[in-house]
Amino acid sequence: DLDEAIVLGREALEPRLQGHLHRSTSLNSLGGYLSTRYNQLGAMTDLDEAIVLGREALELCLQGHPDRSTYLNNLANSLLTRYKQLGAMADLDEAIVFGREALELRPQGHPARSRSLNNLASAL
């Protein structure tokens, strides 16, 4: 159940304090659960928190990290979703920037390139 996944995601994050090697993974996962719950229930607080967590995960995920394109893609999708709800151009602009960066990290032949292409196309 999604609520339980969120509770467990928060618990997993607790011992992974700032500086922990896998904190970005826990942040990204919890953000994903919250984004999914937003899509199901429409609570804007879930989407806002998913974006905050996504930003923090991205800050911790430096250039060259193998999951950076995933974090960029997830954050771009959350920002695009919020733009569609609230109409804030800053959200759309950021979604496009992050979507382009994710696409750059997924060259021709990358298994997730088509996902990035579709997501960026949705934002443009």
In angstroms, rounded to a whole number, what is the distance separating the alpha carbons of residues 40 and 17? 30
Domain count, the chain: 1
CATH of the domain at 116: 1.25.40.10
The model's pLDDT over 89-114, given as tens digits with 9 standing for 90+, comes to 999 999 999 999 999 999 999 999 99
Question: Rounded to two decimals, what is the model's pTM?
Answer: 0.92
The model's pLDDT over 34-69, given as tens digits with 9 standing for 90+, comes to 999 999 999 999 999 999 999 999 998 888 888 999
pLDDT tier, 14 (very low <50, low <70, confident <90, very high otherwise): confident
Length of the chain: 124
Whether the predicted pLDDT of 17 surpasses 70: no
Six token digits for residue 124: 């443009």
